[in-house]
A = this chain, B = another copy of it.
Amino acid sequence: MIWEQRIVSLRGRPRGFHLVTDEIVGQTPELRRVRVGIAHFFIRHTSASLTLNENADPDVRADLETWWRRAAPDNAPYFRHTLEGADDMPAHIKAATVGAGLTVPITDGALNLGTWQGIYLGEHRARGGGRQIVVTIFGEE
């Protein structure tokens, strides 16, 4: 049984959803050693999220961002948590709802994603900066 854990650092990105599969997988060579197992990705932040969706048309990421900006708008008059900026409370709502973690099966040394699935970073702050992900990989060799 293999247990590996590491911090993967993602470079800062603009507000929106971003495809980060290659950036994460490229930093986790341990995946190749696992025949059957699990990869767990955990973002150590409260205003960014991780999810999975289409890895092809970038309009999907743009539309997902547009939808969320309308669903949880900046400057909603009922927000009380406003001191950290107009984008902060919407960022918390998105992070709490979309989620901070992803659990993905590993099969034969690679993430067992569907053909069209990629890992999305949801960067919900205007200036979120770099983000840290704890990657835990475990399974059978």
A3-B37, A63-B89, A92-B53 given; A101·B102 CB < 8 A: yes
Chain B residue at minimum C-beta to C-beta distance from A114: B44
Q: Is the interface of A mostly helix, strand, loop or mixed?
A: mixed
**Choice from B53, B112, B115 contacting A134 with Cβ under 8 Å:** B112
- Number of chain copies forming the complex: 3
In the complex, whether A28 has a CB less than 8 A from a CB of chain B is: no
Q: How large is the interface on A (under 10, 10 to 19, 20 to 34, 35 or more residues)?
A: 35 or more
**Choice from B36, B63, B96, B107 contacting A80 with Cβ under 8 Å:** B63
Q: Tell me, in angstroms, the Cα distance from A136 to B36 when the chains sit together.
A: 8
Report chain B residues within 8 Å CB of A54: 46, 92
**Choice from B5, B38, B95, B99 contacting A138 with Cβ under 8 Å:** B38
